[in-house]
Amino acid sequence: SSQSVHLAVDLGASSGRVIAAGLDEGRLWLNECHRFENEPVWIQDSLHWNVHGLWRDIVKGLRVAADQYDKIESVGVDTWGVDYVLLDASEQLAGPVRCYRDPRNQGSLESGFAIVPRDEIFAATGLQFMEINSLFQLHTAVKCNDATLGIAESFLMMGDFFHWLLSGKKSIEATMASTSQMLDPRTKQWREDLLTKFAIPTKLFSPVTQPGTNLGNVQPSVVAMTGLDNVPVIVPATHDTASAIVSVPTDDFAPDKPTWCYISSGTWSLMGVEVAQPKINALCAELNFTNEGGVQGSTRLLKNIGGLWVFQQIRKSLQRRGEDVSWDDMVTQAKQAKPFALLLDPDAGEFVAPHDMIDAIVDYAKRTGQAEPEGNGTLFRAALEGLALRYRSCLGMLESLVENRIETIHIVGGGSLNAFLCQMTADACGRTVVAGPVEATAIGNIAVQMIGTGRLQSIAEARKLIRDSFDAVTYQPQNAAGWDEPAVRFDALSSQA
């Protein structure tokens, strides 16, 4: 077709897609060229990403797009956060690409704090503490004498890695780098002092680049494989969550007194607000909220919540047992199950990387003195109710951090399609929920490419375009009081501030 499009490569922790987007009479339209699974692979006792398979699927998607559209304005990649690749002196992968769920990261916070105290790391980086953060993954590599580090010459985060494969240019994009816990959120520079204390080689890191940067055209090897020619690689907000937040369909910019929050709902739920400046204070440290970098200088003050991961992995467990259920089936059975039969903390340690999620839930029920779940519906319902309960406590923390009442919760991403979860979120939180767009991440990726190529001028203009282009669904709270008693029990059970 003669339409002109931008291409978003969007890699979530559970699936990837290549999406073409164009403008038609003031509206943005999307066309999914290719969608594929993304699943980490167990290699003995460790968990790796199949980056070769991902690259093959990206190439396939780009080929489909090149066949379909005459004019491709630009391409950009966003991915999940915190993970990285190391390249050696011959520009080859220095070792396997580890998944943040790799069990070797267990215990890395404690051993890390023995080297640099928690308060000092927080003051330097403003990030919430999670074993998965790149800083702690690299600390683990040092601790294990991982030979990869000895031969590594450069560090790239996942989006940067695919941009390098596309363009031949190495860059480290700012929003992604802000998830590493190695960057100063005020200066946006690497904290070399911190790296040195952890014996992480500082020579691996090059200066960060801003979203919107043009890396030049796709390189000849990509032209040969895909047929894309003369197509610039424009770096979006490569962190998927940063891209997703660009797509929140609001016209309200009040970064000092936010009245809305977002939940970017996929494998993880990232719940937070957009603010003008990082909040690096004692309350933020106590509540373990993070200050990640957003586009155009904003800060994403948010908390990681263990998301739909448990729900996804229950489905995988059932598939392994020969039972195939769709998301719709799961939601319907959840709705029919008895409320609050099992209270499940999405952030409990046993859910991080179990070989079988249903077994892990049964163990969890035993450990927490609850009845063993009866029937699949109870499992499905518990995974969703646990999220709504976690959102409720997180909302209270957010309001205390921003010292304002949050009126509206925007849910974007795959979870916005789960009407039952959206309604429970409205009920548990006692707030209006606005759900959509579902492909927020890819849309935000495209919007920043459009800003980079001058088709859009600002995030405000992008959000207006997104409001005009995609319908959102509103849920009003119905039964807030019914959540009070389970919320008390849940807070007593749950592990995280």
For binding to ligand ADP (CB under 6 A), which residues are involved? Answer: 12-15, 266-267, 308, 311-312, 327-328, 331, 413-415, 417-418
199: tokens are 């014996």
State the binding partner of 14 from ligand LRH, ligand ADP, none, CB within 5 to 8 A by kind: ligand ADP
The angle at the Cα of 445, spanning 29 to 161, to the nearest 5 degrees, equals 135
Q: Does 270 bind ligand LRH (CB under 6 A)?
A: yes
Least distance CB 476 / ligand LRH (angstroms): 28
In this complex, which beta carbon is closest to ligand ADP, that of residue 180 or of residue 418? 418
Q: How far is CA 464 from the centre of its chain?
A: 23
Least distance CB 326 / ligand ADP (angstroms): 8
Tokens 């790796």, located at residue: 48
Active site residue 252: no
Q: How far is CA 476 from the centre of its chain?
A: 26
Least distance CB 290 / ligand LRH (angstroms): 8
How far apart CA 395 and CA 405 sit, in angstroms, is 9
Question: Which of 159, 232, 266, 293 is close enough to bind ligand LRH by CB under 6 A?
Answer: 266
In this complex, which beta carbon is closest to ligand ADP, that of residue 57 or of residue 73? 57
Q: Exactly one of 160, 240, 345, 347 is catalytic; name it.
A: 240
Contact between residue 224 and residue 166 where contact means Cβ atoms under 8 Å apart = no
State the binding partner of 288 from ligand LRH, ligand ADP, none, CB within 5 to 8 A by kind: none
**120: Cα within 13 Å, side-chain hemisphere:** 12
Q: Does 80 bind ligand LRH (CB under 6 A)?
A: yes
In this complex, which beta carbon is closest to ligand LRH, that of residue 51 or of residue 358? 51
Q: Does 240 bind ligand LRH (CB under 6 A)?
A: yes
Tokens 């990403």, located at residue: 49
Binding range to ligand LRH, per CB under 6 A, among 88-96, 233-241, 340-348, 352-360: 233-241
279: tokens are 């909040």
Q: Does 380 bind ligand LRH (CB under 6 A)?
A: no
CA distances from 320 to 50, 314, 324, 367 (A): 20, 10, 9, 25
Contact between residue 209 and residue 173 where contact means Cβ atoms under 8 Å apart = yes
How far apart CA 39 and CA 43 sit, in angstroms, is 13
State the binding partner of 100 from ligand LRH, ligand ADP, none, CB within 5 to 8 A by kind: ligand LRH
Question: CA dihedral in degrees (199, 203, 204, 209; nearest 10)?
Answer: 120
Residue nearest to ligand LRH (CB): 81
State the binding partner of 418 from ligand LRH, ligand ADP, none, CB within 5 to 8 A by kind: ligand ADP
Q: Does 352 bind ligand LRH (CB under 6 A)?
A: no
Helix, strand, coil fractions of the chain, as percent rounded to 5: 45, 20, 35
Which residues are annotated as catalytic?
A: 240
